[in-house]
Amino acid sequence: MTWPIELVLYVVLVLTALASLEVKNLLAASVTLTAFSFVCALLMLSVGAVDVAFTEAVVGAGLVGVFYIVAIFRTTRRSAD
């Protein structure tokens, strides 16, 4: 049975989402958002949606993180609120 693994993944999903919302450093926020995408891809893999998991892993955990970091590099590094 895989439910303990999935339970751990769900907990880590919520924790990474909360961390990326709460942290003030935008670089750390984008890194935690990438971790959120990766855990999300693992969960999609566990329910059998392999194509969606592949897309999520490639886009969310691969390229969007780079785009966020480049945008932060061009602007500012601290959150305003």
Site residues, another protein (CB under 8 A): 47-48, 50-51, 54-55, 58-59, 62-63, 66-67, 70-71, 73-74
Residue type at position 31: V
In the complex, minimum distance from the CB of residue 57 to another protein, in angstroms, rounded to a whole number: 9
Alpha-carbon distance of 50 to 79, in angstroms, equals 35
Residue type at position 71: A
Query: Taking every pair of C-alpha atoms in the chain, what is the biggest distance, in angstroms?
Result: 47
Task: Name the residue nearer to another protein (CB basis): 4 or 51.
Answer: 51
Task: Name the residue nearer to another protein (CB basis): 28 or 47.
Answer: 47
Task: Name the residue nearer to another protein (CB basis): 28 or 71.
Answer: 71
